[in-house]
């Protein structure tokens, strides 16, 4: 008999491998069928390798029951690894849409915990014990913070825009500037949202310039809404011009039209002192007389994913009564987090220090530099197989907000000696928690602006493991 036939015949049976300690240790976490399948597929893989490549192709020690069990166990651990899991964000982008946008304040987390663990006042009016409205928990807070008469919250801002347009303009026309036909990542395009809401789009002006008279001459029998959209993720610079909210409001009043503004990010406090491009706050827009303003909960506001609608009472009531409002309703955990986040804004100094994204904006480059130097030193002390250097970098807002804003910052650049930077990044993505950093040319850039200081130790550990070529950490 050839050696190959001999090895094939002597491949261990599935039952034998299942008795190995590596597999037995997983028996209380995974059903027997999953363990058996993992072992079977490892054996099948070895068999195929032997048949196709012969005995030369295989390391004989990989054929023992223990080695097969170890391999199958790694596969099983992957099944147990949560798919939606914690990430350390070392990209320098604070509202990274793919990484979940805004991290929540401790108060918001506590509120989620309290509401989720038991029953709550979600839809009960505690003054009379009768049925209440879920958004009532944040309405007065939002009115106080924005100066609006009424407020409503839904699942997200895309939903808020769709709902408001549908409720206020279905079958009629909304006038929008050609400079504001925005596409937000994830296929949210203003023209398509309007179509979905049954509102006819009437484009006016040109890409770079739109005048008040363009809106004025487009107003007709069917016009219901003058819509202004914040160009969150791009800027038109150079020979450009747009009509202000106040001018639109005046025109709307003259013709009895609803003036609506989709603000996108929705700033509740002025952030220009942090070196961010000036953006209108929600209060300013409400103050200019815009009838309905929509914005996100998880962008610059720093709360959970939500769509906030504030404005004139009669219009907000009409929006709340539309059947689509039920389909887009906010869930109780989000609502709990949103209420707690908004409440922090009542005390601006607390909002500033406790809402993570606001605190991250405020972090000064000098202290970021010190953190980076610390990390550099720790990596160098371990003699990692890489060149490690402090470099200048910039941080960004992200989340489709303030595209031109760059916060001066520092980062650690890592040039690994024993693997490509792509491999290093891939290894870091596989960890629990994962570490996500940027690559630039052949270096990994680790930016600490969006890394919580409590995560510094773990981040160092992950980098050390990855540079030492460990697949699991
Ligand atoms: C981000 C954004 C949206 C979508 O908001 P979500 O909360 O992500 O649904 C809509 N309009 C503008 C202008 C935006 O910037």
Instruction: Specify the pTM.
Output: 0.91
- Asked if residue 135 lies in contact with residue 151, where contact means CB atoms within 8 angstroms, the answer is yes
For 312-336, write each residue's pLDDT tens digit.
999 999 999 999 999 999 999 999 9
Per-residue pLDDT band for 402 (boundaries 50, 70, 90) equals confident
Residue 169 domain-assigned (yes or no): yes
- Asked if residue 92 lies in contact with residue 409, where contact means CB atoms within 8 angstroms, the answer is yes
- How far apart are the C-alpha atoms of 130 and 297, rounded to whole Å? 29
Mean pLDDT of 296-305: 96
Question: Average pLDDT of the chain?
Answer: 93
For atom 11 of ligand 1, the residue with the nearest CA is 264
Same domain, 133 and 198: yes
Point out the least confidently predicted range of 53-62, 112-121, 431-440, 445-454.
53-62
For 79-97, write each residue's pLDDT tens digit.
888 899 999 999 999 999 9
pLDDT at 232: 72
For ligand 1, the distance from its centroid to the CA atom of residue 88, given in whole angstroms, is: 24
Mean pLDDT of 298-314: 97
Ligand 1 nearest atom to the CA of residue 298, by list position: 7
Count of CB atoms situated within 10 Å of the CB of 146: 24
For ligand 1, the distance from its centroid to the CA atom of residue 73, given in whole angstroms, is: 43
Ligand 1 nearest atom to the CA of residue 307, by list position: 7
Residue 236 domain-assigned (yes or no): yes
Same domain, 376 and 346: no
Residue 49 domain-assigned (yes or no): yes
Residue the block writes with tokens 């303009």: 169
Same domain, 343 and 432: no
Same domain, 203 and 331: yes
Residue 171 domain-assigned (yes or no): yes
Among the candidates 320, 354, 388, a domain finishes at: 354
For atom 6 of ligand 1, the residue with the nearest CA is 157
Per-residue pLDDT band for 242 (boundaries 50, 70, 90) equals confident
Pairwise pLDDT comparison (146 vs 195), residue with the higher score: 146
Per-residue pLDDT band for 393 (boundaries 50, 70, 90) equals very high
For atom 14 of ligand 1, the residue with the nearest CA is 264
- How far apart are the C-alpha atoms of 394 and 408, rounded to whole Å? 5
pLDDT at 277: 73
Residue 8 domain-assigned (yes or no): yes
Please measure the distance between the N-terminal and C-terminal CA atoms of the chain and give it in whole angstroms: 44
Any idea what the CATH number is for the domain that residue 314 is in? 3.40.640.10
For ligand 1, the distance from its centroid to the CA atom of residue 120, given in whole angstroms, is: 29
Same domain, 40 and 124: no
Phi/psi-derived region of residue 469, left when phi > 0, alpha when psi is between -120 and 50, beta in every other case: left
For ligand 1, the distance from its centroid to the CA atom of residue 158, given in whole angstroms, is: 5
Same domain, 314 and 234: yes
3-state secondary structure of 198: coil
pLDDT at 63: 92
Ligand 1 nearest atom to the CA of residue 306, by list position: 7
Residue 472 domain-assigned (yes or no): no
- Which residues' Cβ are closer than 6 Å to ligand 1? 156-158, 161, 182, 184, 188, 229-230, 232, 262, 264-265, 296, 307, 400
For ligand 1, the distance from its centroid to the CA atom of residue 261, given in whole angstroms, is: 12
Among the candidates 322, 354, 386, a domain finishes at: 354
Same domain, 278 and 334: yes
Ligand 1 nearest atom to the CA of residue 399, by list position: 1
Ligand 1 nearest atom to the CA of residue 97, by list position: 8
Mean pLDDT of 42-52: 92
Among the candidates 286, 319, 354, a domain finishes at: 354
180, 184, 282: residue to mutate for ligand 1 pocket, most atoms within 8 A of CB: 184
Same domain, 67 and 202: no
- Asked if residue 448 lies in contact with residue 375, where contact means CB atoms within 8 angstroms, the answer is yes
Same domain, 325 and 372: no
Q: Could you list the residue range(s) of the whole structural domain that residue 385 is in?
A: 87-97+362-467
- How far apart are the C-alpha atoms of 68 and 53, rounded to whole Å? 18
Give yes or no for residue 110 having a pLDDT over 60. Answer: yes
- Asked if residue 88 lies in contact with residue 37, where contact means CB atoms within 8 angstroms, the answer is no
pLDDT at 471: 67
For ligand 1, the distance from its centroid to the CA atom of residue 184, given in whole angstroms, is: 7
Mean pLDDT of 362-372: 93
For ligand 1, the distance from its centroid to the CA atom of residue 233, given in whole angstroms, is: 10
For 337-366, write each residue's pLDDT tens digit.
999 999 999 999 999 999 999 999 999 889
Give yes or no for residue 401 having a pLDDT over 90. Answer: no
- How far apart are the C-alpha atoms of 432 and 105, rounded to whole Å? 22
Same domain, 155 and 282: yes
For atom 7 of ligand 1, the residue with the nearest CA is 157
pLDDT at 248: 97
Ligand 1 nearest atom to the CA of residue 233, by list position: 15
Per-residue pLDDT band for 213 (boundaries 50, 70, 90) equals very high
- How far apart are the C-alpha atoms of 131 and 122, rounded to whole Å? 9
Residue 473 domain-assigned (yes or no): no
pLDDT at 472: 56
Pairwise pLDDT comparison (331 vs 400), residue with the higher score: 331
For ligand 1, the distance from its centroid to the CA atom of residue 193, given in whole angstroms, is: 11
pLDDT at 2: 84
Give yes or no for residue 178 having a pLDDT over 80. Answer: yes
Give yes or no for residue 229 having a pLDDT over 60. Answer: yes
For atom 1 of ligand 1, the residue with the nearest CA is 264
- Asked if residue 194 lies in contact with residue 175, where contact means CB atoms within 8 angstroms, the answer is no
Any idea what the CATH number is for the domain that residue 434 is in? 3.90.1150.110
Mean pLDDT of 60-89: 93
Ligand 1 nearest atom to the CA of residue 263, by list position: 13
Ligand 1 nearest atom to the CA of residue 230, by list position: 13
Please name the residues in contact with 366: beta carbons below 8 A apart, sequence gap of 6 or more: none
Same domain, 130 and 271: yes
For atom 2 of ligand 1, the residue with the nearest CA is 264
pLDDT at 271: 77
CA distances from residue 446 to 97, 206, 398 in whole angstroms, order as listed: 18, 41, 17
Compute the C-alpha angle 407/268/167, nearest 5°.
Answer: 120
For 250-294, write each residue's pLDDT tens digit.
999 999 999 999 999 889 988 777 767 778 899 999 999 999 999
- How far apart are the C-alpha atoms of 334 and 340, rounded to whole Å? 10
For ligand 1, the distance from its centroid to the CA atom of residue 304, given in whole angstroms, is: 13
pLDDT at 473: 47
For 162-174, write each residue's pLDDT tens digit.
999 999 999 999 9
pLDDT at 81: 87
CA distances from residue 350 to 4, 316, 356 in whole angstroms, order as listed: 71, 29, 11
Per-residue pLDDT band for 221 (boundaries 50, 70, 90) equals very high
Mean pLDDT of 19-36: 95
Same domain, 206 and 340: yes
3-state secondary structure of 442: coil
Percent of the chain with pLDDT strictly greater than 70? 99
Mean pLDDT of 99-115: 97
Domains contained in the chain, number: 3
For ligand 1, the distance from its centroid to the CA atom of residue 266, given in whole angstroms, is: 10
Ligand 1 nearest atom to the CA of residue 190, by list position: 11
């Amino acid at each position: 008999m050839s050696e190959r036939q001999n090895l094939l015949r002597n491949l261990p049976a599935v039952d034998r491998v299942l008795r190995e300690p590596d597999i037995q240790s997983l028996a209380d976490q995974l059903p027997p069928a999953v363990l058996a399948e993992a072992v079977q597929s490892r054996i099948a893989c070895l068999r195929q390798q032997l048949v196709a490549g012969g005995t030369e192709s295989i390391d004989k020690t990989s054929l023992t029951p223990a080695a097969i069990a170890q391999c199958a166990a790694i596969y099983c651990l992957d099944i147990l690894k949560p798919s939606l899991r914690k990430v350390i964000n070392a990209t320098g982008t604070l509202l990274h849409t793919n990484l979940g946008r805004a991290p929540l304040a401790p108060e918001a987390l506590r509120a989620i915990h309290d509401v989720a663990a038991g029953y709550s006042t979600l839809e009960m009016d505690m003054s009379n014990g009768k049925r209440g409205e879920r958004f009532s928990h944040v309405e007065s807070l939002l009115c106080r913070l924005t100066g609006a008469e009424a407020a409503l919250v839904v699942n997200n801002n895309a939903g808020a825009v769709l709902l408001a347009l549908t409720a206020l303009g279905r079958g009629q026309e909304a006038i929008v500037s050609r400079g504001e036909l925005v596409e937000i990542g994830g296929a949210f395009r203003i023209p398509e949202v309007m179509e979905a809401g049954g509102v006819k789009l009437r484009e006016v002006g040109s890409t770079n310039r739109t005048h008040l008279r363009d809106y004025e001459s487009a107003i007709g029998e069917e016009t219901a809404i003058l819509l202004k959209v914040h160009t969150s993720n791009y800027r038109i610079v150079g020979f450009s011009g747009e009509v202000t909210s106040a001018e639109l409001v005046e025109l709307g009043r003259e013709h009895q039209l609803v003036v609506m503004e989709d603000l996108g990010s929705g700033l509740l406090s002025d952030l220009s002192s942090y070196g961010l491009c000036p953006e209108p706050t929600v209060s300013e827009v409400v103050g200019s007389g815009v009838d309905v303003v929509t914005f996100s909960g998880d962008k610059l506001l720093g709360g959970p994913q939500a769509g906030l609608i504030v404005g004139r009472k009669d219009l907000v009531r009409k929006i709340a009564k539309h059947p689509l409002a039920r389909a887009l309703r906010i869930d109780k955990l989000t609502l709990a987090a949103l209420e707690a986040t908004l409440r922090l804004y009542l005390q601006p100094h607390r909002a500033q220090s406790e809402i993570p994204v606001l605190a991250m904006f405020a972090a000064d480059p000098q202290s970021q530099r010190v953190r980076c130097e610390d990390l550099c030193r720790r990596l160098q002390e371990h003699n990692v197989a890489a060149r490690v250097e402090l470099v200048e970098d910039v941080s960004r807002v992200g989340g489709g907000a303030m595209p031109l804003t760059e916060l001066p910052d520092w980062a650690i650049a890592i040039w690994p000696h024993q693997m490509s930077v792509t491999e290093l990044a891939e290894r870091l993505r596989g960890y629990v928690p994962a570490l996500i950093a940027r690559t630039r040319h052949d270096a990994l850039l680790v930016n600490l602006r969006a890394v919580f200081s409590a995560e510094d130790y773990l981040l160092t550990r992950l980098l050390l493991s990855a540079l030492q070529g460990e697949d699991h950490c």
